[in-house]
Amino acid sequence: MDRLLVLRLRSAGIGAEAWLNGIPLARTGKAGGDVTLPVHEFVIAGPNRLELVIDPPPPLLPPLPGAPPLIGDEGQRADACLLLPRTGNLANETLSRVLLQLAWAAAEGDVYPRPVTLHQEADIPVRFPRWRWLDAPRIEGVDSLRAPAAAYLQDLAISLARGDPEPMFVAAKLRFEELALAYQRPPADDLARWRARVQLLHAQKAMRPPLPTAETLKLRPVADGRLLECLLDDGRPALRCARPDGSQVFWPMRLAAVERRFYPLR
């Protein structure tokens, strides 16, 4: 593969969040930041929708009704781009093909409704197969799924704590297959990398993931309500562990739910 689709989010003086096809993928802090990540597995055939949210609410909270407006401060800005750079080149607008782009800049003293949301749609000249998450049923009764979803994640976390990567691979087999297809890699290579990573973290005594419970697990509907993003109170992935140096390892889990059975599709 000589081309890599990436999403780049940048902001200064304000927080921002970028969504692609209904899935939040990148977020900056209140002071701003710069995030770049590959997004093949979220790009679809036909129109793709990019959204840029300025001053977004916390991931687990809807916008507050009656929230005070945002008063613009010169220097506040944000932009989100879907880029197609060649492998080895920097992912920026100069060295890449820009497929989708949204930009916002505050005017000093102007008043904006909070949050500010921009969006744009465009066909992407790359053809992927139809991903399974697009055909997952829309999920109803999210609160009633918290306890069974927590139990499901607990089983995966316990197997990871034991240094056993196989239950996660079996549970997320469809996800592993589609990731390999998205990035044109042999599935066996991805599986080998996954096993090696789990075993390394276990050998470093870093594999001590917290066990989500019905009280601590938060389920965020994404992908037009077809997937549930599994988070904890801090808005980060529920499956995680801490390395000896204190840094965190996260395993994002976005679950489809069919007859109260869960399938990690992204």
Please calculate the CA angle 7-10-16 and round it to the nearest 5 degrees.
Answer: 95
Q: Please give the DSSP secondary-structure letter assigned to residue 216.
A: T
CA–CA dist 194, 172 (Å, integer): 12
Q: Facing residues of 101 across strands?
A: 81
Kindly give the confidence (pLDDT) of every residue in the chain, 266 residues in length, as a single tens digit, with 9 standing for 90 and above.
Answer: 567 899 999 999 999 999 999 999 999 998 999 999 999 999 998 899 999 999 888 776 555 566 677 777 788 899 999 998 776 656 666 667 889 999 999 887 778 787 889 999 999 877 888 999 999 999 999 999 999 999 999 999 999 888 888 888 889 999 999 999 999 999 888 888 988 888 888 888 877 888 999 999 999 999 999 999 999 988 889 999 888 787 888 989 999 999 889 999 99
Q: Facing residues of 16 across strands?
A: 54
Long-range contact pairs involving 236-241 (C-beta distance under 8 Å, separation at least 24): 238/153, 238/212, 239/153, 239/156, 239/157, 239/160, 239/209, 239/212, 240/209, 240/210, 241/160, 241/201, 241/206, 241/207, 241/208, 241/209
In order, the DSSP letters of 13-70 are: SS-EEEEETTEEEEE-BTTEEEEEEE-GGG--SSEEEEEEEESPPPTTSPPPTTPPPE
